Structure 1
Amino acid sequence: MSTARRAALAAAGALAARAGLAATGPLAASPAGARWRRTNYARRPVTLLGGPVLAAAATGSAVLGAPAGYRAAAAVVGTVTGLVGGYDDVAGARPEQARDKGLAGHLAALREGRVSAGAVKVAGIGAAAAVAAVLTRRGNGVSSLVDGVLTTGLVAGTANLLNLLDLRPGRAAKVSVLLAAATAGGPAGGLAAGPLGAALGVLPDDLGERVMLGDCGANAVGALLGLRLAAAPGRGGRAAVLAVVTALTLASEKVSFTRVIDSTPGLRELDRLGRRPA
């Protein structure tokens, strides 16, 4: 794919995001938008409607730029992860879901005979990732099975990791921009070019604490970028990336990403770049 084509896809993603934010502005301020309103870490009011906007802009532009054989997979992972993430954003905020956080919370809910919104999200993301693996399978036999496991893990794992980073304004969007920019080259680079533009499009409002990405936006863009990683040619490289994603996810159970970032020069400054003082 030419540089001009990738630039056009990025521009399309950014324009779609900006148009979506403008269109949802009246909804965010209306009574109908109340279910999407939250108070962020600094106790400022924000709306989660930035998430559906990012999910739609990233998915549409990723499908446009996806190479043959990946368009259907991009549509599935972007749409499904966005929908189940949005469901968790809304349903997971209900008072009865307050204790259903993390793997332990979801399992406790199941023992009580309830299915938490987070469990629905996890199942939906896993199913979407598995479908993507089937739609993009390579070869036959054991090698095809290994590739399927790698694709499933990268799509689901990256979706979850981006969501884990959505704890401060602009953090998940910045990581999305950096990851998309790093993977926008090559034959499958069109998968990342549109999401790159879409993340840049929502970043000013995210940093300005007018919107949050929420599970809907972070999961969707993460899943699409995970699909881009899964499209890389080298199986060893894909396995190494999945190992890193898995290690970071496991580390998040024990270590605060925010604490690590705040104590690491370079990461701290990048994380705070453009953000309002707390």
Structure 2
Amino acid sequence: MIYIVFIIGLLGTLFIIPYFKDMLIESNIVRKNYLNNEIPVSMGIVFLPMLVINAIVIRYFYTNNYIYIYLFGIISMAFIGIIDDLIGSRNVTGLKGHLKSLLSGKLTTGGFKALFGGFVALFISVSISKDIVDIFVNTLLIALFTNLINLLDLRPGRAIKGYTLVALLLFINIKGYDRVLIISLLSSVLAYFKEDIKAKAMMGDAGSNVLGISLGIIAANNFDIQIRSIILILLIGIHILTEKYSLTKIIESNKVLNYLDKLGR
């Protein structure tokens, strides 16, 4: 099954990428990237068609209804990501900035994403958790994983490299059904990677939200409370760090991280 969903995701996504790029360009869904070049944005929607097709295949062979929760999370966060890509303002940045605006009575797309994403994470947590402590830890885990990939998505290929690394670590350390779910999305992401790393398109929040929540759901569903708590502490630490310091500057100041970040561009 892993090989089947990988082939479907990889070849199917490679086939549909040109059609989605043309659609976004013709609809003027473009944005200037860090090099000031206008390129299609919200290309992360290209992950959804093959993911749904793979879900059909997986559901046919497996009776586990958990895939509905997984798809709900991914499609929900793709939806709010598209909204942020299309009408989001860049005047307010960072999770702290959006929450401050919300508390002052002004709703930004980032604030809406934080609220909506939080409730999505809570629903998923209630669906897969055993008790109140589990619900609390899993909600934060899913929400912060979702935002983590968004934090990385500031340079071509960076978010996908980060996602792929974590996805492979999860794949190695879990067993069974969820390994198939990882590959069902990872295959599409790898097919799209060249477009991102060469700055031909931006996956936007429509993509980074999908990648982040998928990692959060898999992690929440597969590890004991001790491991999840350690992961959660790491995620909180990263978010606190990135609120105070520029992640790009941190990466550029480290030779190894800078080399890996630029690799392939």
User: 1: CA distance between counterparts of 2:30 and 2:200?
Assistant: 10
- Counterpart amino acid of residue 243 in structure 2: E
Contact in 2 for aligned 1:46/1:211 (Cα 8 Å): yes
Tell me the percent identity: 28
Counterpart in the other structure of 1:48: 41
User: 2: CA distance between counterparts of 1:257 and 1:60?
Assistant: 36
Contact in 1 for aligned 2:42/2:85 (Cα 8 Å): no
TM-score by length of 2: 0.89
Alpha-carbon offset, residue 56 of structure 1: 4.7
Instruction: Check 1:157–1:110 CA distance in 2 against 1; reply closer, same or farther (3 A cut).
Output: closer
- Counterpart amino acid of residue 138 in structure 2: T
- Tell me, which stretches of 5 or more residues in structure 2 are unaligned? none
Counterpart in the other structure of 1:152: 139
Matches within 5 A, 1:1-80: 5-30=1-26, 32=27, 34=28, 36-58=29-51, 61=54, 68-80=64-76
Counterpart in the other structure of 1:191: 181
Contact in 2 for aligned 1:129/1:155 (Cα 8 Å): yes
Alpha-carbon offset, residue 240 of structure 1: 0.6
Corresponding position: 1:133 with 2:125: yes
Larger relative helix fraction: 2
Matches within 5 A, 1:103-114: 103-110=95-102, 113-114=105-106
User: 1: CA distance between counterparts of 2:52 and 2:116?
Assistant: 16
Alpha-carbon offset, residue 256 of structure 1: 1.5
Counterpart in the other structure of 1:201: 191
Corresponding position: 1:88 with 2:88: no
- Tell me, which stretches of 5 or more residues in structure 1 are unaligned? 139-143
Q: What secondary structure sits across from 2:244 in the alignment?
A: coil
Alpha-carbon offset, residue 121 of structure 1: 0.9
User: 1: CA distance between counterparts of 2:154 and 2:71?
Assistant: 27
Alpha-carbon offset, residue 107 of structure 1: 4.2
Instruction: Check 1:243–1:107 CA distance in 2 against 1; reply closer, same or farther (3 A cut).
Output: closer
User: 2: CA distance between counterparts of 1:26 and 1:190?
Assistant: 31
Alpha-carbon offset, residue 47 of structure 1: 1.0
Instruction: Check 1:110–1:244 CA distance in 2 against 1; reply closer, same or farther (3 A cut).
Output: closer
The number of residue pairs the alignment matches comes to 259
